[in-house]
């Protein structure tokens, strides 16, 4: 095979895959611009995206806006705080030797293998006992825990924060906690960004926990809201169009964020996956 045919074959595979991955998204975009939620077809007719979006955002006194805000609240809060906590823990596991270190790491690693969905039901029972199911906190607090983040942070801290630097900071009289927040955090920044992004997507996509935990529509994240609309389509046909437009509206910010943050997705990953 010549280089040229090889190149052509490689590009053909790439092109076919691009069509496969992007067509559904394109179809959703086109479908969101049509009238009456007739999703058929891959090209525009009666372009009325603005009116459709307005219809979704104002339906039932703007419940959809509420869902979007909830999703952002659950996700950004849990991912930011969760990343910090996982990062601190992973950093301590990498940089200090202390009794119980290996035990903690192994238990946390076991936590990576325990499916989060297996926890949803007992969490619901526990929160019900505390009369706290069906609240914001019932979804938010469990979403803070990210064992895989601890694992990534430990690997990254071990390879990117030199002991000599910490020793030098000690000699300069800097306390351990201050050194972490002024020095180590900066060295670990790529890992922090990666952990944050994965955590963000995981919480944004979480379905079972809110499904089991929440009864009050006003607390739903947008995924659960769309699911509820979609399962009511038979009784309320007007929802069919709203589901498509709502799906599009909920995806748009995520896709824009992905495009804007794409260079960060890789940086912290390499360290975690080669070891």
Binding mask 31-50 for another protein (x = CB under 8 A): x------xxxxx--------
| Closer CB to another protein, 58 or 106, in the complex | 106
Binding mask 149-188 for another protein (x = CB under 8 A): -x------------x--x--------xxx--x--------
CB of 223 to another protein, least distance (A): 4
Among 44, 47, 137, 207, binds another protein (CB under 8 A): 207
Q: How many CA atoms lie within 13 A of 55 on its CB side?
A: 20
Residue 41 — left, alpha, or beta (φ > 0 → left; ψ -120 to 50 → alpha)? left
CB of 34 to another protein, least distance (A): 12
Q: How many CA atoms lie within 13 A of 238 on its CB side?
A: 5
The span from the CA of 28 to the CA of 177, in Å, is 48
Q: Which of residues 234-263 bind another protein (CB under 8 A)?
A: 234, 243-244, 247, 250-251, 254-255, 257-259, 262
Q: Which of residues 58-87 bind another protein (CB under 8 A)?
A: 85-86
Q: Which H/E stretch holds residue 135?
A: none
Query: Phi and psi (nearest 5°) for 150?
Result: -60, -45
Who's near 248: CB < 8 A, 6+ residues apart?
Answer: 28, 29, 31, 32
Query: Phi and psi (nearest 5°) for 214?
Result: -105, 135
CA-CA-CA-CA dihedral for 145, 148, 153, 156, to nearest 10: -170
CB of 218 to another protein, least distance (A): 19
Burial of 157-188, coded b for 16+ CB within 10 Å and e otherwise, reads bbebbeeeebeebeeeeeeeeebbeebbbeeb
By CB under 8 A, is residue 196 in contact with another protein? no
Q: Which stretch binds another protein (CB under 8 A): 51-59, 60-68, 89-97, 185-193?
A: 89-97
Token pair listed for 13: 């595979």
Binding mask 101-140 for another protein (x = CB under 8 A): ---x--xx-xx-xxxxxxx-xxxxxx--------------
SS3 232: coil
Q: Which stretch binds another protein (CB under 8 A): 46-54, 57-65, 185-193, 198-206?
A: 198-206
Who's near 104: CB < 8 A, 6+ residues apart?
Answer: 93
CB of 79 to another protein, least distance (A): 14
By CB under 8 A, is residue 99 in contact with another protein? yes
| Cα 227 from chain centre | 18
Among 13, 61, 131, 260, binds another protein (CB under 8 A): 13
CB of 148 to another protein, least distance (A): 9
Among 48, 59, 230, 264, binds another protein (CB under 8 A): 230
The span from the CA of 40 to the CA of 56, in Å, is 19
By CB under 8 A, is residue 223 in contact with another protein? yes
| Closer CB to another protein, 50 or 177, in the complex | 177
| Closer CB to another protein, 163 or 172, in the complex | 163
CB of 63 to another protein, least distance (A): 17
């Amino acid at each position: 095979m010549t280089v040229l045919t090889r190149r052509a074959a490689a590009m053909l595979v790439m092109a076919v895959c691009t069509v496969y991955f992007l067509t559904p998204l394109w179809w959703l975009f086109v479908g969101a611009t049509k009238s009456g939620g007739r999703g058929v077809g891959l090209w525009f007719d009666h372009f009325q995206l603005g009116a459709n979006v307005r219809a979704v955002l104002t339906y039932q006194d703007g419940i959809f806006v509420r869902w979007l805000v909830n999703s952002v609240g659950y996700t950004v809060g849990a991912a930011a705080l969760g990343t910090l906590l996982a990062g601190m823990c992973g950093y301590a596991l990498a940089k200090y030797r202390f009794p119980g270190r290996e035990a903690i790491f192994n238990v946390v690693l076991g936590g990576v293998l325990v499916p989060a969905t297996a926890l949803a039901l007992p969490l619901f029972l526990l929160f019900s006992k505390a009369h706290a199911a069906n609240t914001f906190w019932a979804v938010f607090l469990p979403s803070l825990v990210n064992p895989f983040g601890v694992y990534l942070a430990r690997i990254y801290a071990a390879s990117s924060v030199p002991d000599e630097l910490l020793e030098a900071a000690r000699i300069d009289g800097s306390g351990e906690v201050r050194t972490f927040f002024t020095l180590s955090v900066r060295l670990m920044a790529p890992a922090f960004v990666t952990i944050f992004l994965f955590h963000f997507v995981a919480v944004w996509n979480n379905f079972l926990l809110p499904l089991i935990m929440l009864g009050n529509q006003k607390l739903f994240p947008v995924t659960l809201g769309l699911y509820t609309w979609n399962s009511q389509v038979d009784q309320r046909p007007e929802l069919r169009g709203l589901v498509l437009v709502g799906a599009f509206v909920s995806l748009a910010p995520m896709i824009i964020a992905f495009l804007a943050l794409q260079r960060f997705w890789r940086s912290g990953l390499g360290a975690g996956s080669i070891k």
